[in-house]
Structure 1
Amino acid sequence: MDWVRGETVGRGSFATVNLVIPKGKSKSNSNSTLFPSTAAVKTSEVSTSHSLKNEKQILDCLGSHKRIIRCFGDDHTFENGEKYYNLFLEYASAGTLAYQVKFHGGRIPEQYIRRYTRSIVEGLSHIHCNGFVHCDIKLQNILVFHDGEVKIADFGLAKKTGEEQSEKQRFECRGTPLFMSPELVNGGEHESPADIWALGCAVVEMVTGKPAWNLEKDANMWSLLRRIGAREESPVIPGELSKEGKDFVEKCFVNDPRKRWTAEMLLNHPFVEEVKSVNESSPRTHFDFNDWVSNVSESVPNSPESEEFCQWDVDSSFCSAVDRLQQLVTVERPASWSESDSWISVR
Structure 2
Amino acid sequence: MDWVRGESVGRGTFATVHLVIPKATSNYTIFPSPTAVKTSEVSTSYSLKNEKHVLDRLGSCQQIVSCFGDDYTFENGREYYNLFLEFASAGTLVDQVKFHGGRIPEQNIRGYTRSIVEGLNHIHSNGFVHCDIKLQNILVFHDGEIKIADFGLAKKSGEEQSRLECRGTPMYMSPESVIDGEHESPADIWALGCAMVEMMMGKPAWNLEKDSSMCSLLLRIGSGEESPMIPEDLSKEGKDFVEKCFIKDPRKRWTAEMLLNHPFIEEVKKNVNEASPRDHFDFIDWVSSVADLTPSSPEHEESCQWSFDSYSCSAADRIRQLVTVEVSVSWLESDSWISVR
Question: So what's the TM-score if we normalise by structure 1?
Answer: 0.78
1:96 alignment partner in structure 2: 92
Distance in structure 2 (CA, Å) of the matches to 1:184 and 1:159? 14
Equivalent position to 1:48, from 44, 50, 53: 44
Summarize deviations over 1:128-169 as a string: whole Å, max 9, x none: 00000000000000000000010000000000000011x3xx
Matched, 1:153 2:135: no
CA contact (8 A) 1:182 1:231 kept: no
CA spacing shift, 1:36–1:278, aligned 2, 3 Å: closer
Q: Distance in 2 between matches of 1:85 and 1:277?
A: 41
1:237 aligned counterpart, secondary structure: coil
For each residue in 1:281-308, what CA deviation from the matched residue of structure 2 results, as whole angstroms up to 9, or x when unmatched? 99xxxxxxxxxxxxxx9xx98xxxxxx8
Matched residues in 2 for 1:63 and 1:231: separation?
Answer: 40
Q: How many aligned positions are there?
A: 284
- What letter is aligned with 1:147? D
CA contact (8 A) 1:69 1:151 kept: yes
Correspondence 1:195 to 2:177: no
Shift of 1:309: 3.3
- Which residue, 115, 119, 126 being the options, matches 1:123? 119
Unaligned runs of 5+ in 1: 283-296, 302-307, 313-347
Listed as ranges, the gaps of 5+ residues in structure 2 are 278-286, 295-341
TM superposition shift of 1:25: 4.2
- State the alpha-carbon separation in 2 of the partners of residues 10 and 98 from structure 1: 15
Shift of 1:278: 7.6
Q: Does 1:24 align with 2:6?
A: no
Give the Cα–Cα distance (whole angstroms) in 1 for the partners of residues 218 and 272 of structure 2: 43
2: CA distance, partners of 1:270 / 1:133: 25
Paired residue for 1:243? Answer: 236
- Secondary structure of the 1:310 match is coil
TM-score (norm 2): 0.79
Tell me, yes or no, if structure 1 residue 206 matches structure 2 residue 188: no
Q: Which amino acid aligns with 2:232?
A: G
| Superposed counterparts of 1:1-347, under 5 Å | 1-25=1-25, 34-165=30-161, 167=162, 170-275=163-268, 276-277=271-272, 309-311=291-293
CA shift, 1:172, in A, is: 2.9
Give me the whole-angstrom Cα distance separating, in 1, the residues matched to 2:37 and 2:26. Answer: 15
For residues 217 and 93 of structure 1, the distance between their equivalents in structure 2, rounded to whole angstroms, comes to: 33
Post-superposition shift, 1:35?
A: 2.0
Distance 1:272 1:112 in 2: 11
* Sequence identity (%): 76
Whether contact under 8 Å (1:2, 1:26) holds in the other structure is no
Cα gap change, 1:244 to 1:43, in 2 (>3 Å): same
Which runs of structure 1 show a deviation greater than 2 angstroms over 4 or more consecutive aligned residues?
A: 25-28, 277-282, 308-312
Output the CA distance in 2 between the equivalents of 1:99 and 1:67: 18
Question: Which whole-Å CA distance do the structure 1 matches of 2:59 and 2:175 have between them?
Answer: 31
Give deviations 1:225-263, integer Å, cap 9, x for gaps.
011010420001000111110000000000000000000
CA deviation vs aligned residue, 1:10-66 (integer Å, no higher than 9, x gap): 2122111110001104579xxxx8121310000011110000000000000000100
RMSD value over aligned CA atoms? 2.3
